[in-house]
Chains A and B, each alone.
Chain A
């Protein structure tokens, strides 16, 4: 009797958290899809914050939009069309911006801003020439609650490719972050790391726009990484905590979306945003409270 009384609230909690995912296929698909996006994109996001490329990622997200929009005009909501459109636009902008930055005195952020603005304007012009009133809601805010098998395979594939390439480039990326000149004496290693990383950004943004939309995808890369810096000092630790925060954000965001009837993509990013703001206050390394209560000091 006693134990039965105790179990009632536990069962209710269990049902609240689990039943949307156990009873509804679209929620299961959303969870799997968003986890795939997180596992691929968040480690890349950690490196983006460490390389001070957060705004570069934002620019790339905008650069992908017109490619996807043009693909939408040509092939509608075709998964392959949208993926290729975003991929081509992103890679072309990243490659051009990187080439100009390395070949001229223009800095990379300026170069990238210039090319993504040109790309964005070109996309808008093409759309206006077609006099098309297409609904780009899917591209802007994703479609996480309507992922089909093909979309899930695509997200899982991009996640796998991204983790594989990141594992290969990991050492070069780390060295390139700490001492950007070091690898430049060893043949193409520095260039491979730089362009390889831009490629990783692009494919993860493309995966992100299928699930969360172009404008939300970058949030999933940057926010968990920024939050993790408040909790861990080592790179391994930051990668682990950032991924865990993003996964928790996906579960929370999907549940909020389910119960409060909010758009799922923004709900997920907002959930991770709450983790980030909480980390600013409570983070063990550099959080506000850790500074307020740090009135003791060590002996050496």
Chain B
């Protein structure tokens, strides 16, 4: 399933956060969306996840229900009285809906997902007792349980230690080998250089999209920084229309 972004504009109060972006993301691609703060990375990911409406242009080849999305931890309410197992089992919503009970097989699936991210034995732990790394592992386990062809990861390695990063990178590699499409937003350029074959450099508009080494050049990064800083409160109306 190829994802096609066609002349995509996403805006807040008519100011574009992503401006006339056109890109094709092939099935099975591992793509890092990078760029300075305010470049529109998370906005783009939110639009792909179906949270943000497009102002102009289209996103094709992406059905919201076939996407597994890993949110930033700050969006979760860790104080809610919920166990790790219950959090992971919410990944089965698309199969269970409101009323169906977990089958034995689905329970095993959740337990296996926890084991795969190194959280064996954490099933009954409350979310409020987890460290940042443990919560991130739990969220990865939920993505495993969701079992979708497209996986969106929003800042998956923020504030986690090297061991957790290495373990979760192994999980992502397995998804990549299974030909799932992985799109991740990150600030960690070293990580992108080391692991992500493809990169999309964003500064509200597309600075570069393609193989990571070709895109993340010093020249492109400097240009991205400069463009991102040129936010204008008194900007003229954009006259570039969709094709």
- Scan A162-203; emit 1 where CB is below 8 A from any B CB, else 0: 000000110110110111111111110100000000000000
List 9 extra interface pairs beyond A189-B98, A235-B81, CB under 8 A.
Answer: A171-B99, A178-B127, A181-B69, A182-B69, A182-B71, A182-B90, A187-B65, A189-B93, A233-B126
Mostly, the B contact residues are mixed
**B77: interface (CB < 8 Å):** yes
Known: A182-B93, A184-B50. A234 touches B98 (CB 8 A): no
Contacts of B87 in A (CB 8 A): 178
Mostly, the A contact residues are helix
> Which of B93, B99, B126 has a CB less than 8 Å from the CB of A183?
B93
**B80: interface (CB < 8 Å):** yes
Asked whether, in the complex, the Cβ of B65 is within 8 Å of the Cβ of A238, the reply is no
Can you report 16 residue pairs joining A to B where beta carbons are below 8 Å apart?
A169-B98, A171-B93, A171-B96, A171-B98, A175-B93, A178-B80, A178-B82, A179-B75, A179-B76, A181-B75, A182-B71, A182-B90, A185-B49, A185-B50, A189-B93, A238-B81
Instruction: Determine the interface band of chain A, counting residues with CB < 8 A from chain B.
Output: 20 to 34
Contacts of B77 in A (CB 8 A): 177-179
Cα of A235 to Cα of B99 in the assembled complex, Å: 18
Cα of A178 to Cα of B77 in the assembled complex, Å: 5
Cα of A183 to Cα of B69 in the assembled complex, Å: 11
Instruction: Determine the interface band of chain B, counting residues with CB < 8 A from chain A.
Output: 20 to 34
Most chain A C-beta atoms within 10 Å of own C-beta, residue among B81, B90, B99, B127: B81
Contacts of A179 in B (CB 8 A): 71, 75-77, 90
Smallest beta-carbon distance A200→chain B, Å: 15
Asked whether, in the complex, the Cβ of A181 is within 8 Å of the Cβ of B71, the reply is yes
**B64: interface (CB < 8 Å):** yes
**B240: interface (CB < 8 Å):** no
- Scan B63-81; emit 1 where CB is below 8 A from any A CB, else 0: 0110101010001110011
> Which of B49, B50, B80 has a CB less than 8 Å from the CB of A177?
B80
Cα of A6 to Cα of B75 in the assembled complex, Å: 61
Cα of A234 to Cα of B50 in the assembled complex, Å: 32
Smallest beta-carbon distance B116→chain A, Å: 20
Cα of A204 to Cα of B127 in the assembled complex, Å: 30
Contacts of A186 in B (CB 8 A): 64-65, 93-94
Known: A178-B87, A182-B90, A185-B64. A172 touches B98 (CB 8 A): yes
